[in-house]
Amino acid sequence: MLLFLVNEGTLFACLLASYFYLGVEHRVWPPTGVEKPSLRLPLIMTAALLSSSGVLMIAESGFERARPGRFRAGVIGTVMLGVVFLSLQLIEYRDKLPRIHPSDSAYASLFYTITGLHGAHVAFGLLFLLWALAREMAGTTRPPRSMAIKNASLYWHFVDGVWLVILTSLYLSPHWW
């Protein structure tokens, strides 16, 4: 799992390096005619993801202490917060696409590629967590340790961490240039 996450981290690092390279090469970034990203929705999305990591940590603790109710409630809460994040991302895309399309510029292309790839990772993380929950409910995992649960949790925390870098890079940094 760690090698997989290093690979995924490298992919995001390359995409973000491209974003910053193009930003440095252009006098104005985002390009003229493209408004700087609104922060309201991304900050709500961030609150949902950060909260989900906290809830998942409570779930992990419940599993390790053989408290299946806490574990199950925590995973379900995490999944619900992840769905909130993805729903807000869809709303953001719905509002943004009429004004800026992925084919409009390198900025738009990278914005949608990076945020879309992250959204795909969130969706996969939700499936991974539901799979770990199903395994626990089926009794195929036993406290205090389960690689299925540890790997799903590690992946989810990675996805949350990547979002903080994306938030800083794509949403906050344009307001500093």
pLDDT of residue 142: 83
Mean pLDDT of the chain: 95
pLDDT of residue 97: 94
- Between 145 and 22, the more confident residue is 22
Say whether 101 sits in a helix, a strand or coil. coil
Q: How many domains does the chain have?
A: 1
pLDDT of residue 176: 86
Say whether 66 sits in a helix, a strand or coil. coil
By the 8 A CB rule, do 174 and 31 touch?
no
By the 8 A CB rule, do 14 and 168 touch?
no
pLDDT of residue 177: 74
Q: What is the pTM of this model?
A: 0.94
Q: What is the pLDDT of residues 132-163, one digit of tens each?
A: 999 999 999 888 778 999 999 999 999 999 99
pLDDT of 9 higher than 80: yes
Q: What is the pLDDT of residues 55-68, one digit of tens each?
A: 999 999 999 999 99
Name residue 145's beta-bridge partners.
142
Report how far apart, in Å, the C-alpha atoms of 15 and of each of 7, 38, 84, 104, 133 are.
Answer: 13, 21, 25, 18, 32
- The mean per-residue pLDDT over the stretch 99-117 comes to 96
Question: Both tokens of residue 141?
Answer: 């995992």
CATH of the domain at 91: 1.20.120.80
pLDDT of 21 higher than 90: yes
pLDDT of residue 143: 80
Residues 6+ apart with CB under 8 A from 20: 169
pLDDT of residue 27: 85
| Domain span including residue 132 | 2-175
Return the amino acid letter for 27.
R
pLDDT of residue 2: 93
- The mean per-residue pLDDT over the stretch 114-127 comes to 98
Residue pointed to by tokens 């406290």: 143
Helix orientation angle between 2-25 and 106-138, rounded to the nearest 10 degrees? 160
